[in-house]
Amino acid sequence: MTKIESLGVQIIIDAWGCKNIDNETLVREFLEESVKSCKATLLSLHTHKFSPQGISGVAIISESHISVHTWPEYNYAAIDIFTCGKDVEPYNTLEVVRRIFDPENITLNELKRGVSVGILC
């Protein structure tokens, strides 16, 4: 039997007043740079540009995923970084958010995922 505190951490970022969020090339760059900054392992990356605006993208990583959904009409991006393992550094993504999207305001929430209340068998 093993007692665990959590299996992973999920960081939820709401970024307001963003730039570049209707540019698919820069959204892909955001995902690629986020993976590198977290020291994660990229498995696949996919983006989709909506008409007339908005982009959704996800980077599947060995350690879980990083996703972004943009609403250019509100200058808003919803970003989700879910990682597991001791070697990844999900908070490093904040610098990538600031550099590529240049938001005026960021709110961040952290969730511990797979929290054990008791003992796993």
- Mean predicted confidence (pLDDT) in 95-103: 98
Q: Which of the following is catalytic: 34, 38, 65, 69?
A: 69
Which is it for the CA torsion 112, 102, 105, 95, positive or negative? positive
Q: Which of the following is catalytic: 44, 84, 116, 121?
A: 84
Q: What is the pLDDT of residues 58-96, one digit of tens each?
A: 999 999 999 999 999 999 999 999 999 889 999 999 999
Show Cβ contacts of residue 117 under 8 Å, excluding neighbours closer than 6 positions.
none
Please state, for a pLDDT cut of 90, what percent of the chain lies above it: 83
Q: What is the pLDDT of residues 29-67, one digit of tens each?
A: 999 999 999 999 999 999 999 999 999 999 999 999 999
- Mean predicted confidence (pLDDT) in 98-113: 96
pLDDT of residue 120: 52
Show Cβ contacts of residue 105 under 8 Å, excluding neighbours closer than 6 positions.
15, 16, 17
Active-site residue 64, yes or no? yes
Active-site residue 84, yes or no? yes
Q: How many residues can be counted in the chain?
A: 121
Q: Which of the following is catalytic: 18, 37, 38, 64?
A: 64
pLDDT of residue 6: 80
Q: Is the peptide bond before 72 cis (omega within 30 degrees of 0)?
A: no
Q: Give the residue from 84, 85, 109 showing the smallest Cα distance to 15.
A: 109
**pLDDT above 90 (res 97):** yes
Domains and CATH numbers, the chain: 8-113 (3.60.90.10)
pLDDT of residue 1: 41
Active-site residue 69, yes or no? yes
